[in-house]
Amino acid sequence: MTNTAMAPSVHPTAVVDPRARLAEGVEIGPYAVIGPEVQIGADCRIGPHVVIDGRVTLGRGNRVFPGACIGLEPQDLKYGGAATEVVIGDDNTIRECVTINRATAEGERTVLGSGNLLMAYTHIGHNCQLGDRIVIANGVAVAGHVVIGDRAVIGGVLGIHQFVHIGTLAMVGGMSRIDRDCPPFLMVEGHPGRVRGLNKIGLRRSGLAEREEGAELRQLQDLWGLLYRSDLVLAEALLQARQQPLLPAPAALCSFLEASLGPGRRGPLPAAR
């Protein structure tokens, strides 16, 4: 016997394709449009005038505010109608007029993890890969193929160039120009963007400052001085940093920078002088 108390609630003015899959507890608001290949997980709340179309999967407990558009065709002239996807995790807050485009080529995905906050008028371009517990402030344009690590904080009214990587627990100041990679655990700000120092507040809030009795944070501080304040070029500083045993966060910073200096990447942002 069906438990009607948990059945999806669809406003009479909403247009929901009968092939769409709505889990228990889903609420669909006035004038929303839900396409045939959409799957919406339990307890999601889809606000008025939201459009979700294309091959889109939402996990549990997501809140999508009025005017958001998810899963529409990528803004990419190479797109030829391939069956691509948007995959979204659990407990995300997607505010007013956010746009999340599906990927470009066959079999590809645009991915948003869990526990993220995308403030109003954020754009997430095709093939982006976002982790968990990220905060993106109002009016941010994230171009295609961008990767953003867990718990990064992105300030408002800025643009992120395609193929840029932003590391875990990075903090990007508002109105910056981000055209190269932003390393994890560091603060970036400016036009053009420049690395300014450790994201100490974010590191403390994450609990990293207490790990290993603070040794991990101290090693990050030493590494910051070596990588960005010594006379060594970055590649040489990384070789020197690898001569010592590194705790997990400092090792992750080195690995990110080594990958950023490699082929197919845009390279890391330099430090402010």
pLDDT in tens, 164-216: 999 999 999 999 999 999 999 999 999 999 999 999 999 999 998 788 778 99
pLDDT of residue 2: 44
One domain for residues 29 and 115? yes
Parts of the chain with a pLDDT under 50 = 1-4
Q: What pLDDT shows up at residue 209?
A: 78
> Measured between alpha carbons, how far apart are the two ends of the chain, in Å?
69
Q: What count of residues does the chain have?
A: 273
- Nearest-CA neighbor of 138 among 125, 119, 124, 151? 119
Pick from 50, 57, 20, 13: nearest CA to 35: 20
Any domain includes 270: no
| Domain coverage including residue 11 | 4-145
Last residue of a domain, one of 125, 145, 165: 145
Same domain, 141 and 8: yes
Q: Residue 111 has which token pair?
A: 């991915």
Place of tokens 């609630």: 9
Q: What is the CATH number of the domain that holds 25?
A: 2.160.10.10
Q: Are residues 122 and 227 in the same domain?
A: no
Same domain flag for 206 and 80: no
Answer yes or no: do 212 and 140 share one domain.
no
20 lies in the same domain as 141: yes
Please indicate, yes or no, whether residues 94 and 210 belong to a single structural domain of this protein. no
User: What pLDDT is attached to residue 5?
Assistant: 56
- Tens-place pLDDT, residues 208-238: 878 877 899 999 999 999 999 999 999 999 9
DSSP H helical segments within the chain, as ranges?
Answer: 200-206, 215-228, 234-241, 248-260
Residue 128 shares a structural domain with residue 10 = yes
Whether residue 134 lies inside any domain: the answer is yes
Residue 1's pLDDT is what? 38
**What is the pLDDT at residue 205?**
92
**How many domains, in total, are found in the chain?**
2
Residues 125, 17, single domain; the answer is: yes
